[in-house]
Amino acid sequence: MARKISPIGTSVAEHSRRLARESPEYRAEQERLAPYEAVARVVIMRRLELGLTQQELAERMGTSHSAISRIESGRHRTSLATLQRLAEALELRFLVGFESGPKIRPVRQFVSV
């Protein structure tokens, strides 16, 4: 896989790692966005598996193309109701989970919604 290179010659990943090391604010923003980016990756991959465009997924959900675009950007909070409709449109089961215990060995409990 080809590395993404910025115009100044540093890979995007290297630049991001450097910013995270040097800036607590940048690191905090990365951590804040991580769950939204994870949802975006699942949505994009599933949408592509089903051969759907963003517009077609929006129509299945009864929402706008821009709403799907926002979700897939990985930069916006999405309500549980929207996630549930999204799962139905993507022919997936929507699970809500809780975690307790240490981060390295958490105890996870899931509920299908």
Q: Give the Cα separation of 46 and 86 in Å (integer).
A: 11
The C-alpha angle with vertex 72 and arms to 20 and 87, in degrees rounded to 5, equals 125
99's CB contacts (< 8 A; 6+ apart) are 106, 107, 108, 109
User: Please, are residues 40 and 73 in contact by the beta-carbon 8 Å criterion?
Assistant: yes
Q: Mean pLDDT over residues 22-42, rounded?
A: 90
Q: Which residue has the higher pLDDT, 27 or 51?
A: 51
Per the DSSP assignment, residues forming a β-bridge with 112 are 95
Residues 51-85 pLDDT 10s: 999 999 999 999 999 999 999 999 999 999 999 99
Res. 1: pLDDT tops 60: no
CATH class held by domain 34-112: mainly alpha
* Full-model pTM: 0.78
The Cα–Cα gap between 103 and 83 comes to 25
Q: What is the mean pLDDT of residues 88-104?
A: 95
> Looking at residue 17, what is its pLDDT?
78
Residue 108: what pLDDT? 95
* Residue 26: predicted pLDDT: 81
Instruction: List the single range of 7-11, 31-35, 76-80, 104-108 with lowest mean pLDDT.
Output: 7-11
d(CA 98, CA 113): 13
Q: At 112, is the secondary structure helix, strand, or coil?
A: strand
pLDDT at 6: 54
